[in-house]
Amino acid sequence: MIARDSAVEQTMKELGFGYRARYYTKTVERLVQLDDTYLENLRHASVDVARAELMKLSGVGPKVADCVLLMSLDKVDAVPVDTHIWQVAQKQYVGRLTGSESELVSMLLPSDKQEQIQELAQKLSAFKSPSTKAYELAQALIATLFSPYAGWAQGLLFSDDLVDSLDPAVAKPTTKSKPISKPKLTPAKRKAEKPQTIPKQEHKTAAEPTAKRTGLRPRPTSSVFTKSGL
């Protein structure tokens, strides 16, 4: 079968899959060995069980597993989390959930989960940089906020934040570049760089040298005199 062909990995590299070619090849080999209903059975398993099974495949981490669960296995409560989604959770929710009471009221949180949500936000606020634990907390926060459709809510949050990042009106201000100052010129350099003017030369007709030697007035060459014979 093609999955066992030793040239498959090299072919995939030539097609532009790069370092992922090895993962894809091994994953296909593993799926061929498994029962035909393996992936279909994951559709009916819990999110945690299905995620654990997918992560046994070569090159599949938590985010890829959650993407497969959400987009291919009907797990609408699976929340793929990466650095971007962690930043969205920090920016959109952590500050507000740990802020004043009025902000909490304005968010219309589910009353039966408000304490749980606030606790997750409080824990997540302690992380100033992304990590495995921070990702898990961000995932739990979004899942609790938007269950049972947290996965699709995550997609909307991601898209909205991406649009904002591309909008010049809300883009981060850039620092203005300082004007380049011209170096001061010494009198010698200023004189050397000053363009030289070429002196004007007087235009002399062919008749002028003869006039200077003989003292005679040069004969006009106008067409009027030529026609009259003068």
What kind and span of H or E run contains 51?
Answer: helix 47-54
Q: Is 178 a catalytic residue?
A: no
Helix residue spans in 60-207 (DSSP H): 62-72, 83-89, 95-97, 101-106, 114-124, 132-146, 150-166, 187-193
The 3-state DSSP composition of the chain as helix, strand, coil percent (nearest 5) reads 60, 0, 40
- 29 burial (CB, 10 Å; 0-12 / 13-18 / 19+) is middle
Q: Which of 26, 63, 123, 172 is catalytic?
A: 63
Ordered DSSP codes for 79-107: ----HHHHHHHIIIIIHHHTS-HHHHHHT
Cα separation of the two ends of the chain: 111
Q: For residue 220, what are its two tokens?
A: 């006009």
Return the active site residues. Answer: 63
